[in-house]
Amino acid sequence: MKKINCLRCGVPMKHLFNQRIQLGGASWLLPDLNNIMSGYLPVMILVCPKCRKLEFFLLSEKQRNKHE
């Protein structure tokens, strides 16, 4: 992974974890169906150890397969 510096303080960011962020939202009628149909967004989450800023990056197909 390419080194990414924090945009605020310039400190190298640390990999926190990869996460699937659920898309969609709850609706009054069949609330779970909307979430199931919407899918998810696979992201890599980085954190700055100095200012605690978070950065989210969309995982590539190769990265998704590596971390699943």
pLDDT value at 1 more than 80: no
**In this predicted model, what pLDDT tens digit does every residue of 4-56 receive, in sequence order?**
999 999 999 999 999 988 877 666 666 666 556 667 889 999 999 999 999 99
Beta strands (DSSP E) in the chain are: 14-22, 40-47, 54-58
The answer to whether 54 and 16 have CB atoms below 8 angstroms apart is: yes
Question: Residue 1 gets which letter from DSSP?
Answer: -
Q: What is the pTM of this model?
A: 0.72
Q: What is the pLDDT of residue 64?
A: 63
Q: What is the pLDDT of residue 15?
A: 95
